Each structure stands twice: as structure tokens, then as C-alpha cells.
A and B are shown apart, each in its own frame.
Chain A
Amino acid sequence: MQNTIEARGAGATAPAPPSRASALRRLGRALAPLPWIGPAVILIAAVVLWPVIEMARTSLMRISSSGATIGTRGTGNYHDLFDEPDLVSVLLRTVVWVVGVVLVTIVVSLALGQLLNARFPGRRVVRWAVIVPWAASVLMTALTWKWMLNYYYGVVNKILQGVGVIDHPVNWLSNPTQALIWMMWVAVFVSLPFSSFVILAGLQTIPQDVYEAATVDGAGRARTYFRITLPLLRPSLLVAAIINVINVFNSFPIIYAMTGGGPGDKTDTSTTFMYKLAFSGSGDVGESAAMAVVNFALILILVLAYLRVVGWRGETQR
């Protein structure tokens, strides 16, 4: 503040632009944060933002199968992408995948959060158990499920036959519909810990006296839940939902490890499809980049939604 007034004063006495000294001082003040935040900005710009630009650039170029840039191609890669016979079904499947997994995850984690918040002996251990799929590598978790679903040697067939749900072993992962359902279950399985803990955290912020007041007013258990708990959980729910949508959309290892998107492209989502376009068979990195740009645009919309939900106002004013 004082510096600003001083600078104005200097400007008033001399008709010339602010003195060199005060300009330098202002420059110094503007640059002061650089040693502190500069490295972070550089790292993010070089490794997170550069790929975004590189991706957009690549989507407009002709790339040989060995990865060399041959020349520009305009919108040719996008035309190729939109001409892919499987694109529409892949996009539709992506919608089913994301909506289905996130919806089930949120509903189940509402119950799980409640359970983890309830008081019973051994609750700590149950919380630790729920954490396991969160800490473990998603790839390794997917590989276990692949093994458990094995046609000949998997325990899933053994258990389901044992309880009489099926009367002969089923080759679950060779049928696109069944494979997709199982993979969606695995995606739910690995998404539940985070969502449940977010909802648990939300539940813990609700003060106890709100419930006491409801009891005094004679509200029943269901009424209390739907009229008080659920509305108060809204922020947690929205955050969990959006972060889940982004994660599930980007979910790669589950499908890649369990079916490889197959048979054909019949269990691909747009993320695994993008990967296949670049790195399988006669890969076309340019067309894959076009797919990546489309995916990224969808994610950006979700990020904007997230910013709205968390109420970003630009903290500078505070």
C-alpha cells in the first residue's frame, strides 16, 4: 500500500513516467513470489500443460506408424475418427459405463458411509478393510477379478454353482454384455472406498443436535434421513460424484487387463479405444490424439462443473 502511494506521489511531481527506482521496486514486488511458486508452475506447465498442447497439435498432424511426424493433416484425423464404424457404440458404452458405475457407487457408498459412521465394536478394522482396494493397484485388483472369473479355475463359477445360481460354468469375460457388467462391478468395487470416506466425512460434519431436534419434533428415522441427512450431505455427494465421474471415465487398467476391450472393440470405452487407436496393430497416433482431444473436452466440462460445485470465486479478494 505505502509503496503504491509513494509511486503515485513520485508520478505527480515529475511529469515523466514513474521513476526507474519505483518501477524496479514494483517489478521486484511482482517477482517476489517467483522463487516460491515458480518451480511448481514450471513443473505443471512442462509436464501437465505441455501434453495438452502436444495432444491438440498431434491431432492435426499426420503421424507414421513408427511415430514420426510426416506433416500437417488439418482435420483429417477427426474425419477418420468420426468414420470409425465402432465409434458410436464405444461412446454409448462409455456413457453406460460412467453413469452406471457412478450411480451404483454413490448409492452403495451412502449406505457404507452410514455404516462406517455407526458405533459398533471393531469399526476401525472394518474401515481399514474398506481402504484396501483404494490403496492397492487397480491393475492388480482387476487381475484378481479376472482370475476369479476364469472359466475353468475361477472361484466365481464355483461359488455360483454351489449356491445354484448357474448350473454349468460360464465363460463370463468372453461375452461382451456379461464382461461389461463384471467390469462395471470391479469399477464400483475400486471406487467405493473413496466415495464412502467422502460421505463419512460429510456425515461427521453434521452436528448431533440437529438430530436431537428432529427427534424432539417426532420425526421418524426415514423422514430424518431424507429431510435432514441427505440435504446436508449434498456438498459431499456432489464432490464425490464429480471426482468419481472423472476417475471412472479415465478408468483404463480394469478394461485393459480384463478383456483388452474385446472381443473386437465390444467392451471398449473411449479411453481404452483411444489407447488402441495409437498402440495396437497399425496404430495411428494422430487419430488417437483426435479421440484424446474429444475425451479431454468432455473432462474439461466436468472440471468446470466441479469448480462451480466447490464454489471457486478466485481467492484473491479475500
Chain B
Amino acid sequence: MNSRSKPRVAILAGVGYLVAFVFVAPYLEMALTALKPDRELTRSPTTFLPKHWEFGNFVNVWKAAPIWQNMQVSLIVAGVATLIALVVSLPAAYYTARNRFRGRGAFLLLVLVTQMFAPTALVIGIYREMVALNLTDTLLALILVNAAFNLPFCVWILHGYFSSIPKELEEAAYLDGAGKVTALTRVTLPLSLPGLVTAVIYTFIGAWNEYVVALTITSSPDRQPLTVAIPGFVTSYQAHWQFLFATSLIAIVPVVVLFVFIERYLIGGLTAGGVK
């Protein structure tokens, strides 16, 4: 502690701010490009700052393409998928944390293994399944895929939280005349709130950013989420980088803010079983 001299702290802070800048820089460039008028995008050599700050881009982008529709798709898919993942994972996590039963180990192994499966690796299989079920180009397919692939993480992190809450607390509630459900909703759930919030936000962001499955199984423009729609601003026929990045920022800023909230709880959940 005593060796923490002033110049050392100053150097650390300097390096720290430099690192922070490197990580934010691409998104800064995103913002600066989103604020340039069309004619400044094709100026060579380029300028870092817009000569004319075109704040109107953030208004006009809504008219340039039906991104409101795509945003609704993203919101519905991410929202419903998160809800399903939570409703399905909560009882499973609670039961496996509180009870020993035959098949418990197999279930937890299933969760741990499928947590490692990415939709990208299985996209051909997912596509074939949705063709067989006649679900291609539907929001239902996107909802199911996002709910299912995030489910293992939700089960895992909630299982961890429920296991860490002593059974005795619930038993004390029984003595006070509470039923099983009351004990769960009044005692256990509030105590595992960080886990719940982490599961919800992480699933929502994962579904919000999902790209490859949506790219593969949606084809109608009004059923595509933002991630699939955004590249359409820059094609062989048009190059509206300012709109592409305006939309990107609209999509990125809210989830970064959400992510900051769960930062503290996330690591334990992501590496559960490995780092204790």
C-alpha cells in the first residue's frame, strides 16, 4: 500500500484512459460518421469531425428505411425470448438447487454442455428444422431459438444464486406461516435479484444482437431484426453509412447502459463451475 507512489498512480491512470479511448474509439467514429451530411462521407481525404454537424440524420434515418419495423421485430423477439427463457429456467434452477433427485446430474450436464453450443455452429440444422416445421420467416422461430440458446446460461446462473441462499431462510418463513410459493417469492427471489437481473439483461442483449440465425431464416423485410436490416443501408446501389451508423448507435447505446448494470454479477455466472 505504501509503495503506491503518486507517479505510479498517474502512469496507471494515463494508461487506463488510453485503453478506454481505444475501446470506445470505433464507436466514436460511428457517432461522428452518423453526424456527417451525405456529401462529407465521400470526401477524400476524410476529416475526423463533421464540418457541418448533421443532427438531422437521427431524424431522417426513420424515414430513409422502415427501421421502426425492424426495431419492433428486435424488441418483440428479444423481449419474448427473454420472458420465455426466464419462465422456463426459473423453476428448473430452483428445483435443482433445492432437491437431490435422480437425473439431476444429467440435467446439469445437459445445461453445461448446451451452454457451449452457439447458434452459428448449428445454423444449418436450425434452418432445416424450421423448414420442416414450416416456421421459416416467422418471429416465432427467432423467439424459440433465442430463448432456447440462452436458457442454459439462465439456468446456470440462477442455479448458482439459489444454491447460495440457505434453505433455512425459507424454513424460517414456513414457521411464520408462509406457504411454499410465498417463501419463494418473498424470501428467495428478492435475495437472488442480482442473478435474475443478470439473466434477463444478458439474454435480452444476446437476442438483440443475434445475427446469423435471423439472417438465415428471415426473408421478408418486415420480419427482419435490426441486425439483419442495418447492412441494407450500404449495398452496391447505395452507401448511406451515416444512416447505417445512426441506426447502429440507436441499437448499441441502450444495451451498453444495461450491460454496465450487470457487469459486477456477470463474470461469476459466465464462468460458473470453473472459477469459484
B273 beta carbon closer than 8 Å to chain A: yes
The proximity string for A residues 274-311 relative to B, scoring 1 for CB distances below 8 Å and 0 otherwise, is 11001100000100110010011001001100110111
B110 beta carbon closer than 8 Å to chain A: yes
A253 to B118, CA, bound (A): 13
CB contacts (< 8 Å) of B116 on chain A: these are: 243, 246, 299, 302-303, 306
B27 beta carbon closer than 8 Å to chain A: yes
**Partner among B110, B111, B244, B248 whose Cβ is within 8 Å of the Cβ of A137:** B248
A197 to B205, CA, bound (A): 18
Residues 130-151 of A at the B interface (beta carbon under 8 Å): 130-141, 143-145, 147-148
**Partner among A36, A189, A238, A278 whose Cβ is within 8 Å of the Cβ of B95:** A36
Given contacts A39-B92, A138-B209, A147-B29, contact A51 B122 (CB under 8 A): yes
Binds A, one of B16-24, B51-59, B175-183: B16-24
Given contacts A135-B259, A285-B124, contact A120 B16 (CB under 8 A): yes
A115 to B112, CA, bound (A): 31
Q: Interface centre among A33, A125, A236, A311, by most B CB within 10 Å?
A: A33
A70 beta carbon closer than 8 Å to chain B: no
A312 touches B112 (CB 8 A): yes
A154 beta carbon closer than 8 Å to chain B: yes
CB contacts (< 8 Å) of B44 on chain A: these are: 152-153
Number of interface residues of B (CB under 8 A): 101
B266 touches A197 (CB 8 A): yes
A247 touches B118 (CB 8 A): yes
Smallest beta-carbon distance A234→chain B, Å? 10
Smallest beta-carbon distance B87→chain A, Å? 8
Least CB separation from B100: chain A residue? A316
CB contacts (< 8 Å) of B84 on chain A: these are: 43
B161 beta carbon closer than 8 Å to chain A: no
A47 touches B263 (CB 8 A): no
Residues 2-18 of B at the A interface (beta carbon under 8 Å): 4, 9, 12-13, 15-17
CB contacts (< 8 Å) of B129 on chain A: these are: 47, 50-51, 54
A8 beta carbon closer than 8 Å to chain B: no
A107 to B41, CA, bound (A): 37
A311 to B118, CA, bound (A): 22
B124 touches A314 (CB 8 A): no
B16 touches A122 (CB 8 A): yes
Residues 147-165 of A at the B interface (beta carbon under 8 Å): 147-148, 152-155, 157-158, 161
Smallest beta-carbon distance B103→chain A, Å? 7
Residues 239-273 of B at the A interface (beta carbon under 8 Å): 241, 244-245, 248, 251-252, 255-256, 258-260, 263, 266-268, 270-271, 273
A37 to B154, CA, bound (A): 13
CB contacts (< 8 Å) of A134 on chain B: these are: 259
**Partner among B17, B92, B273 whose Cβ is within 8 Å of the Cβ of A37:** B92
CB contacts (< 8 Å) of A32 on chain B: these are: 101
Given contacts A132-B27, A314-B105, contact A250 B209 (CB under 8 A): no
CB contacts (< 8 Å) of B88 on chain A: these are: 39-40, 43
A158 to B260, CA, bound (A): 33
B131 beta carbon closer than 8 Å to chain A: yes
CB contacts (< 8 Å) of A303 on chain B: these are: 113, 116
**Partner among B103, B122, B227, B275 whose Cβ is within 8 Å of the Cβ of A48:** B122
B100 touches A235 (CB 8 A): no
B64 beta carbon closer than 8 Å to chain A: no
B149 touches A47 (CB 8 A): yes
A26 to B21, CA, bound (A): 62
B41 touches A153 (CB 8 A): yes
Binds B, one of A85-93, A96-104, A171-179, A198-206: A198-206
A194 to B255, CA, bound (A): 16
Smallest beta-carbon distance A295→chain B, Å? 6
Residues 78-127 of A at the B interface (beta carbon under 8 Å): 112, 115, 118-123, 125-127
A191 beta carbon closer than 8 Å to chain B: no
The proximity string for B residues 83-121 relative to A, scoring 1 for CB distances below 8 Å and 0 otherwise, is 010001101101110011111110111111110111011
A-B contact pairs, 23 of them (CB 8 A): A43-B147, A51-B126, A58-B125, A129-B20, A132-B252, A136-B252, A139-B227, A147-B245, A148-B29, A153-B44, A155-B29, A158-B45, A158-B46, A201-B271, A236-B275, A243-B271, A278-B124, A289-B128, A292-B122, A292-B125, A310-B112, A312-B109, A316-B105
Q: Which residues of B contact A (CB under 8 A)?
A: 4, 9, 12-13, 15-17, 19-21, 23-24, 26-27, 29-30, 33, 41-46, 48, 84, 88-89, 91-92, 94-96, 99-105, 107-114, 116-118, 120-129, 131-132, 144-145, 147-149, 151-152, 155, 205, 208-209, 211-212, 216, 227, 230-231, 234, 241, 244-245, 248, 251-252, 255-256, 258-260, 263, 266-268, 270-271, 273-276
Known pairs A39-B92, A153-B41, A189-B26 / 5 extra A-B pairs, C-beta < 8 Å: A37-B107, A47-B147, A55-B125, A311-B273, A316-B105
